[in-house]
Amino acid sequence: MKAADNVFLVVKPGVVLTPIIEPVICSLEIYFREAGLKAFVTSGLRDAHDQLRIVKKYLIAKGLDKHYPATMACKHPMEKDRGYYVWQLAWSHLLNVGVIINPPLASECLMDYFRNGKNRKGQIINQTPHANGTSFDIGGAGGDDATIKDELVVMERAMKAKVKGLIYILPEHNNNAIHCDCVRS
């Protein structure tokens, strides 16, 4: 089974698959076919460099890039300034304005960030699970009315059916994507 053969849950060009996520993406094809819904896998394996690129992308989308010129110019996720990662405050600001995004490398959140009623400011937030090759994202359709509503209905059905290898889904409305976690099966 190859995810490249999927017709309904299509893997976007440039997305890096792993032996852990590819079989799950193949298994999900039938759920999207039954729903008559064409959807896209928009992200797979991502390393710290990829994650830094995504942080920059969201800073631009939220109009925050001008406040963080050092982050925008940062070439390596390990770069530090006065004990903090160069991108750490800018990334914390994204969490503060509601963009759910893991840091390029595990690090402390420097701004207020409320999740499930708790402020996670001062807590260490883990590196993206995408760096382990155990996660992928399903994106909403493009256009002005882009939402993940239809995709979420299908993925909730797949979760109920206990699709092998799929353990957790997280709708990220701000990112217009559903984050999916897998385990080696």
Q: Which two tokens stand for residue 184?
A: 């080696």
* 179 interacts with Zn ion by CB under 5 A: yes
Q: Which is nearer to Zn ion, 29 or 137 (CB)?
A: 137
Binding residues for Zn ion, how many (CB under 5 A)? 2
* Number of other residues whose CB lies within 10 A of the CB of residue 70: 12
- Give the shortest CB-183-to-Zn ion separation in angstroms: 15
CB nearer to Zn ion: pick between 79 and 105: 105
Q: From the CB of 177, what's the least distance to Zn ion, in Å?
A: 7
Find out whether 3 and 22 touch, Cβ atoms under 8 Å.
yes
56 part of the interface to Zn ion, by CB under 5 A: no
Closer residue to Zn ion in complex, CB, 42/88: 42
Contact region with Zn ion (CB under 5 A), list: 14-22, 91-99, 146-154, 171-179: 171-179
- For Zn ion, the closer of residues 35 and 100 by Cβ is 100
Q: Is 137 within 8 Å of 169 (Cβ atoms)?
A: no
Q: Which stretch binds Zn ion (CB under 5 A): 9-17, 109-117, 143-151, 175-183?
A: 175-183
CB nearest Zn ion: which residue?
A: 179
- What letter does residue 174 receive in the DSSP assignment? G
Q: Residue 44 in contact with residue 128, Cβ under 8 Å? A: no
Burial label for 129, CB within 10 Å (0-12, 13-18, 19+), is: middle
Q: Which is nearer to Zn ion, 44 or 77 (CB)?
A: 44
* Residue number, 57 or 67, with CB nearest to Zn ion: 57
Q: Are 87 and 71 in contact (CB under 8 A)?
A: yes
Q: Which of residues 98-137 bind Zn ion (CB under 5 A)?
A: 137
Give, in order, the Cα–Cα distances in Å from 74 to each of 26, 77, 105, 106: 37, 7, 14, 17
Least separation in angstroms between residue 17's CB and Zn ion is: 14
Instruction: Please tell me the total number of residues recorded for the chain in this structure.
Output: 185
Residues in contact with Zn ion by CB under 5 A are 137, 179
